């Protein structure tokens, strides 16, 4: 079979392979190539705020029914809470069975610099009241300028509801926003041409900085995390897909380009604009995609939830901290809150873990130093699981709302066996 080197998937794969080779053969030079990934992620993050804002306003404005907005948002949040709780619980079960931290030499692992994460954790309030107040931005423009998803969602929903309530008077605003959205997605397509280089730079940095041998000491934890995420995707999401009449594995095949992009950059946000476009082509309505996907990036981080639960217990095992079932239930409750505030960018899971352990003093927060060397490798699994989880959530909510209308062309070439009307739970 002849490879099409103009295909983005092939280019990203080649970039990853080249990056691994550079990192292995020229580690010092490879570590410096991280700048390529940093540039790409910054370029994508540059577009996140306006795309999310315009898409949500367009979605809600086109609905013309404020009750419908509340119904879709309510169903999405309920789904997010149920599924992310399953993710946390599965992580706790697997890490307790495999016990990857048992027998770990914590003395040899000490010395990692975790001050930047613990300081950020102290600065970040994770209490329930602080979490709610933090959703409301200080001003309208500031929410877009800072790029924090929750305040952007808040402002966009308010703007969209107000626009929808104006009826015909609000349609010119929606029309202008649709034109702005087309421009921003065109910019995304231009930036995507740089993605193979970003993927190559990210992989070169990972191998060059930590070395292939650095994986062995924590390989058991990494294997456990990857196994758990596989079980979650195939098991939990597979069951959800079956209940709603679509095959999760075929859906994953459909979004393979976005998955490869996330694999290279370790950031699920890098694929957010393309993912939204992809889901619309898949058959989900613009209004559901515009509301569910951005919300999911703050409330439905399944991969991050799995990582947080497993990493916390791993540190407890490494430090010989005996946690009772009630300790773990309490930890689960804390994680249910802190995991909702994690953004879909590289390093956010690490910061959230530090914040979680700060709120749960039974486990030493300095234990996150044990994970410094391999967090990068696990962040890829987190980001991919987050991406797939949010994609599945969008399809499910679309089907709940009877707003799933697959394109004949897309379905014939990608997923010809998915029924249009799935039975509801």
Per-residue pLDDT at 161: 84
Longest dimension (CA), the chain: 68
Which range is least confidently modeled, 248-262, 270-284, 373-387, 409-423?
A: 409-423
Q: Tokens 């329930």 belong to which residue?
A: 128
Sign of CA dihedral 241, 243, 244, 247: positive
- 306-325 residue pLDDT tens: 988 998 998 888 888 888 88
Per-residue pLDDT at 146: 73
Query: How many distinct helices (H) and strands (E) make up the chain?
Result: 22, 0
Q: Does residue 422 belong to any structural domain of this protein?
A: no
User: Could you give phi then psi for residue 404, rounded to 5 degrees?
Assistant: -110, 110
| Cβ contact 274:258 at 8 Å | yes
Please tell me the distance from the alpha carbon of residue 308 to that of residue 324, in angstroms, as a whole number: 18
Per-residue pLDDT at 340: 61
Per 3-state DSSP, what percentage of the chain is helix, strand, and coil (rounded to 5)? 80, 0, 20
Give the mean pLDDT of 242-248. Answer: 93
Cβ neighbours of residue 16 closer than 8 Å, sequence gap 6 or more: 199, 200, 203, 260, 263, 264
Is pLDDT above 90 for 158? no
> Residue 364's Cα: distance from chain center in Å?
27
Write out the two tokens for 284: 């989900």
Q: Does residue 133 belong to any structural domain of this protein?
A: yes
| Cα 404-405-410 angle, rounded to 5 deg | 115
Which range is least confidently modeled, 71-75, 196-200, 211-215, 321-325?
A: 211-215
| Cα 303-263-99 angle, rounded to 5 deg | 45
User: Measuring CA to CA, which residue among 50, 58, 72 is closest to residue 295?
Assistant: 72
Is pLDDT above 60 for 142? yes
Q: Does residue 247 belong to any structural domain of this protein?
A: yes
Q: Does residue 206 belong to any structural domain of this protein?
A: yes
DSSP 8-state secondary structure symbol assigned to residue 424 = P
Q: Which SS3 state, helix, strand or coil, does residue 298 take?
A: helix
Q: Does residue 322 belong to any structural domain of this protein?
A: yes
Per-residue pLDDT at 198: 85
Rg, the chain, Cα only: 21
Per-residue pLDDT at 187: 87
| Cα 203-204-209 angle, rounded to 5 deg | 105
| Cβ contact 72:285 at 8 Å | no
| Cβ contact 392:237 at 8 Å | yes
Please tell me the distance from the alpha carbon of residue 376 to that of residue 393, in angstroms, as a whole number: 26
Is pLDDT above 50 for 368? yes
Cβ neighbours of residue 423 closer than 8 Å, sequence gap 6 or more: 243, 244, 245
Helix axes 34-63, 171-192, angle to 10 degrees: 160
Whole-structure pTM value = 0.68
Is pLDDT above 60 for 237? yes
Write out the two tokens for 318: 């490494």
Residue 364, domain CATH? 1.10.3860.10
User: Measuring CA to CA, which residue among 144, 146, 182 is closest to residue 55?
Assistant: 182
The number of residues in the chain equals 425
Instruction: Give the residue numbers spanning the domain of 158.
Output: 8-413
Q: Quote the number of domains for the chain.
A: 1
Q: Residue 326 CB: number of other CB atoms within 10 A?
A: 8
Q: Does residue 421 belong to any structural domain of this protein?
A: no
Q: Does residue 178 belong to any structural domain of this protein?
A: yes
Q: Residue 212 CB: number of other CB atoms within 10 A?
A: 12
Is pLDDT above 70 for 250? yes
Please tell me the distance from the alpha carbon of residue 317 to that of residue 402, in angstroms, as a whole number: 47
């Amino acid at each position: 079979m002849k490879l099409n080197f103009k295909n983005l998937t092939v280019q990203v794969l080649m970039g990853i392979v080249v990056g691994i080779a550079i990192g292995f053969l020229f580690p010092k030079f490879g570590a410096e190539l991280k700048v390529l990934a940093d540039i790409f992620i910054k370029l994508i993050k540059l577009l996140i705020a306006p795309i999310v804002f315009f898409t949500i306003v367009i979605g809600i404005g086109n609905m013309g029914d404020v009750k419908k907005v509340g119904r879709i948002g309510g169903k999405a949040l309920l789904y997010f809470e149920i599924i992310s709780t399953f993710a946390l619980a599965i992580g706790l079960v697997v890490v307790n069975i495999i016990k990857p931290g048992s027998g770990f030499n914590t003395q040899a692992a000490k010395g990692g610099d975790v001050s930047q994460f613990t300081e950020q954790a102290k600065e970040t309030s994770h209490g329930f009241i602080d979490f709610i107040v933090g959703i409301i931005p200080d001003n309208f423009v500031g929410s877009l300028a800072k790029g924090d998803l929750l305040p952007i969602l808040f402002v966009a929903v308010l703007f969209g509801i107000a626009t929808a309530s104006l009826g015909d008077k609000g349609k010119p605003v929606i029309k202008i926003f649709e034109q702005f959205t087309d421009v921003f997605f065109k910019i995304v397509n231009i930036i995507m041409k740089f993605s193979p280089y970003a993927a190559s730079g990210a992989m070169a940095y990972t191998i060059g900085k930590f070395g292939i041998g650095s994986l062995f000491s924590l390989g058991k934890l990494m294997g456990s995390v990857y196994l758990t995420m596989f079980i979650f995707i195939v098991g939990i999401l597979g069951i959800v897909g079956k209940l709603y009449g679509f095959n999760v594995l075929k859906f994953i095949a459909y979004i393979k380009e976005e998955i490869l992009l996330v694999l290279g950059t370790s950031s699920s946000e890098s694929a957010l604009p393309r993912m939204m476009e992809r889901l619309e082509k898949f058959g989900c309505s613009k209004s559901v995609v515009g509301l569910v996907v951005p919300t999911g990036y703050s409330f439905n981080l399944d991969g991050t939830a799995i990582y947080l639960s497993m990493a916390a217990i791993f540190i407890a095992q490494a430090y010989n901290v005996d946690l009772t079932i009630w300790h773990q239930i309490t930890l689960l409750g804390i994680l249910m809150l802190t995991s909702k505030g994690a953004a879909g960018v590289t390093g956010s899971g690490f910061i959230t873990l530090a914040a979680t352990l700060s709120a749960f003093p039974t486990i030493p927060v300095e234990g996150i130093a044990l994970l410094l060397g391999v967090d990068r490798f696990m962040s890829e699994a987190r980001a991919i699981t987050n991406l797939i989880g949010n994609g599945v959530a969008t399809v499910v909510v679309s089907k709940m709302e009877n707003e799933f209308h697959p394109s004949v062309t897309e379905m014939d070439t990608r997923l010809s066996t998915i029924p249009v009307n799935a039975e509801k739970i």
